[in-house]
C-alpha cells in the first residue's frame, strides 16, 4: 500500500490508464510542464509527452469541444476544467451534445470521455470558484457523475471512469487535495455505482459525499461518545446511484441524515430523500433531515465560508437534536 495525497492519486490514476491504453489522451489548461494549477498532473507531461498531454488555450469550450471530437473518433480523452464553476461556460456542449449524442445517433457514436474538475468550497476562492455543482451534472440524462472522498477511491473510480463507454463528470473536492490515504499497490480499478459504508452504526444513517464524508465520520465519532450510533455512507457515485446500500441502511437504522455541500435548493440529498421516502417510508422512525449549505453564493471570508459549509459541529448537533 502506498500513502498518497489526493492530488498525487489523480496523477497516479491518469498515468496508470495512459500506460495501459495508448488511446487515452489528456488535455486542459496548464496540465503539461506546469503540472496543473492544483499540482494534480505532475510528471505526466514528462512521461507521455506533448502528443498525449496537451496544454490548451484558456477556453473551456475549446477543451470540451476537442475532447468531444476526440472521443467520437476513437480516442479516450480526459479533459480538465480548472474549476467546476466553469462548466457554465461550456454547458451547451456538455448537456446538449456530449450527454445526448449517443442516444440521438442510436448508438452509432459513443463518447468514452472523462471531464475532471476541482469542485467545491473550503479553500477561500470566493463565490465564482467555490461552487459544488454535482447537482448541475446529475440532472442531465446521459452523464455519469462521480465525486470521491479519498485517494484510493480517486485512483479506483477515475480508472473506472476512463474505461467507461459513457461520458463521466469526475469531481475532485479541492480542499481534499492535500489529505493523505493508503492506495493499493499495482493496478487499481473500482466500480462505478457503488457506495461504501465507512462507519457502522445502528441508530441513524448519515449519507455524505466528497469533503462531507470525513466530516460526517468525525461527527459520528463524537456522537458515539454520547451513545448515538451512526452508520456513515460515502455515496461516491451520484449517477449511477447505489440505492440498495442506502435503502438497506435506512431500513435497518430507521433514520436518515444527508450531508451535502450543494446549496439546499435541489441538492442531491433531496433526490435521495425522495427515493427513501418512496421506498422505505414505513421503516423510518422520524423525518428525513438534510444538512446543507444555505442557498447563497459561497463567501470568501474564512469565518463566513466556514459558517456556510456543513461543519463537524453542525452535523453532530443536527443529529443530536433530531435523535433526542
Asked whether 166 and 102 are in contact (CB, 8 A), the reply is yes
296 class by beta-carbon count within 10 Å (0-12 exposed, 13-18 middle, 19+ buried) = exposed
C-alpha cell at 301: 471570508
**Residue among 230, 180, 235 nearest 205 (CA):** 230
d(Cα 39, Cα 171) in Å, to the nearest integer? 16
Cell of 24: 487515452
Active site residues: 60, 129
- Locate 279 and state its grid cell: 421506498
Q: Which residues lie closer than 8 Å to 171 by C-beta, 6 or more apart?
A: 84, 117, 119, 120, 132, 133, 134, 137, 145, 146, 147, 210
Place of cell 457523475: 145
Amino acid at each position: 500500500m502506498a500513502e498518497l495525497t489526493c492530488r498525487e492519486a489523480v496523477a497516479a490514476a491518469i498515468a496508470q490508464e495512459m500506460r495501459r491504453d495508448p488511446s487515452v489522451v489528456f488535455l486542459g489548461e496548464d496540465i503539461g510542464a506546469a503540472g496543473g494549477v492544483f499540482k494534480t498532473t505532475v510528471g505526466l507531461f514528462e512521461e507521455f509527452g506533448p502528443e498525449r498531454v496537451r496544454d490548451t488555450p484558456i477556453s473551456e469550450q475549446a477543451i470540451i469541444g476537442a475532447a468531444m471530437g476526440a472521443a467520437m473518433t476513437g480516442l479516450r480523452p480526459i479533459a480538465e476544467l480548472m474549476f467546476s464553476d466553469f462548466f457554465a461556460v461550456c454547458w451547451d456542449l456538455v448537456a446538449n451534445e456530449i450527454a445526448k449524442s449517443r442516444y440521438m445517433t442510436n448508438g452509432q457514436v459513443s463518447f468514452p470521455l472523462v471531464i475532471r474538475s476541482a469542485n467545491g468550497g473550503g479553500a477561500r476562492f470566493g463565490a465564482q470558484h467555490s461552487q459544488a455543482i454535482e447537482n448541475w451534472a446529475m440532472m442531465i440524462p446521459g452523464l455519469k457523475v462521480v465525486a470521491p472522498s479519498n485517494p484510493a477511491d480517486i485512483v479506483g473510480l477515475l480508472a473506472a471512469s476512463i474505461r467507461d463507454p459513457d461520458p463521466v463528470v469526475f469531481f475532485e473536492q479541492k480542499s481534499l487535495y492535500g489529505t493523505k490515504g493508503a492506495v493499493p499497490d499495482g493496478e487499481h480499478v473500482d466500480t462505478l455505482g457503488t457506495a461504501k459504508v465507512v462507519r457502522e452504526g445502528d441508530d441513524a444513517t448519515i449519507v455524505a459525499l466528497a469533503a462531507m464524508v470525513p466530516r460526517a465520520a468525525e461527527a459520528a465519532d463524537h456522537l458515539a461518545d454520547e451513545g448515538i450510533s451512526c452508520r456513515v455512507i460515502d455515496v461516491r457515485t451520484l449517477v449511477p446511484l447505489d440505492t440498495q446500500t442506502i435503502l438497506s441502511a435506512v431500513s435497518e437504522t430507521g433514520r436518515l441524515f444527508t450531508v451535502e455541500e450543494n446549496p439546499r435548493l435541489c441538492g442531491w440529498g433531496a433526490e435521495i430523500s425522495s427515493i427513501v421516502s418512496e421506498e422505505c417510508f414505513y421503516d423510518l422512525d422520524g423525518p428525513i433531515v438534510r444538512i446543507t449549505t444555505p442557498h447563497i453564493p459561497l463567501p470568501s471570508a474564512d469565518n463566513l465560508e466556514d459558517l456556510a459549509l456543513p461543519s463537524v459541529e453542525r452535523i453532530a448537533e443536527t443529529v443530536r437534536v433530531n435523535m433526542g
